[in-house]
Amino acid sequence: ADDISLPNVLRQCLMLISVFPMLAVYSYHAYNHYECGGSMYIHYPSDSLSTASNFLRMLRPDMQYTPLEARVLDLALVLHMEHGGGNNSSFTTHVVTSSGTDTYSAIAAALGSLKGPKHGGANYKVVQMFEDMKKNVSDTTDEQAVADYLVKLLRREAFDQKGLIYGMGHAVYSISDPRAQVFKSFVGQLAHEKGRDADFALYTMVEEMAPKVIAQERHIYKGVSANVDFYSGFVYSMLGLPPELYTPVFAMARIVGWSAHRLEELINTDKIIRPAYRCVQPVEPYISLKER
């Protein structure tokens, strides 16, 4: 494990990319069996199938899935691999790799970062937010009623009272998140196949309405748009994925990006990354211990 030569790290990374889907699915089945009392299924992956197809095959008791389901999940994995502008878990990979540690320690640190609800857990927050919306808005086709709910979200009067519309806004993508735009066309197809056109219409309404509400309430005019998390949780719910797998699926995709970042750090630099601190407290006179 401590051999950080490039050929060995590349081998380790390819191995991790290939086994992450099995780690996720088998761990969930074990959890579902031992903690929830459900049946435990261990289906072997097929060498002839893609990662997305194998994931659905291993997860479902009957191993059955439609081509569209596999296509949309495959697209989700591609879109979540990495994105421009950097992100918390990829930066974590750089920082930990710069210490000279092994691949597994660096990836474990990245996983710890991804677990946070502001990073990899954001997609499930979107699903929960919409569930709360449907409970508290009598007619979700009424634009004014939905807008009023969004205002309550921002005023910390609804859902988790954090003042956020989850799935909206991104530190880098202000005009639009290209990942969300690509994803949306396939999400509509899957929603139609699953008989959830009404839910898709609600998501679309919120996507169009939220930037206006945010601009009005927060006076933010630089541009706010839906990010990839806005639709990914909805997709996972339509695929029947249990919530416990939402973030592991993100990890299945992002391990590719983490691997690239780890190799980049090893190739380009040989210096540890550390923060520089600057004290902003005013200088105060020293008081001896006897006088304190």
Burial class (CB in 10 A: 0-12, 13-18, 19+), 243: middle
Q: Are 200 and 188 in contact (CB under 8 A)?
A: yes
Which among 185, 156, 150, 183 is positioned nearest to 168, based on CA atoms? 150
**229 catalytic residue (yes or no):** yes
Question: Out of 83, 170, 177, 261, which one is annotated catalytic?
Answer: 170
Tell me, yes or no, if 160 is annotated catalytic: no
Within 169-272, residue ranges assigned H as helices are 178-193, 197-218, 228-238, 246-268
SS3 of 133-195: the string is HHHHCCCCCCHHHHHHHHHHHHCCCCCCCCCCCCCECCCCCCCCCHHHHHHHHHHHHHHHHCC
CA distance to 111, 153, 177, 190, 235, per residue, from 70 (Å): 25, 34, 23, 10, 11
Q: CA 10, CA 218: separation in Å to the nearest integer?
A: 46
The answer to whether 138 and 38 have CB atoms below 8 angstroms apart is no
Which one from 29, 177, 229, 261 is the annotated catalytic residue?
Answer: 229
CA torsion 96-98-101-103 (nearest 10°) is 70
CB count, 10 Å around CB of 95?
18
Length of the chain in terms of residues written: 292
Positions marked catalytic: 170, 229
